[in-house]
Amino acid sequence: MFNPHSITGKLGEMGVGTNSIIILLIVAIFKTSFAEEILFRGFIGKGLINSMRFIKGNTLQAIIFGVLHLALFATITLNLSILSIIFISTALIAYVFGYLNEKKANGSIIPSWIAHALANTATYICVGFLM
């Protein structure tokens, strides 16, 4: 996150401005949120839900999503308390996103994509410009 070669590191170097905000929005909305929603709630989630039923399939996609984020953040810190919070929170959010898509949005990933994009945008702003 703070690595000068990461997106948040580069945004921090650029400072707040039109170019950095445009880059932040493109990355937050499309590169991460849209790509992760297609992969996790689109392909993985739907495949697991179809083969295992909703609760087991959605739980497994949420665990996989949490493990991915755990691995990403383990490159930054080995603090088990922080890593536990990251795993639990991202897995819980992934479960809610799967529920939202499958039970409330008739299988569409658009609601979780919007929520994910908002969360990533806020995170990138905080890490890139405020920390």
Q: Where are the domains of the chain?
A: 7-130
C-alpha to C-alpha distance for 41 and 24, rounded to whole angstroms: 23
Q: Can you read off the two tokens belonging to residue 43?
A: 């392909």
Provide the pLDDT for residue 116.
97
Q: How many CA atoms lie within 13 A of 118 on its CB side?
A: 6
Provide the pLDDT for residue 53.
96
- pLDDT one digit per residue (tens) for the chain, 131 residues: 556 667 777 777 887 888 889 988 999 999 999 999 999 999 999 999 999 999 999 999 999 999 999 999 898 889 999 999 999 999 999 999 999 999 999 999 999 999 999 999 998 888 877 76
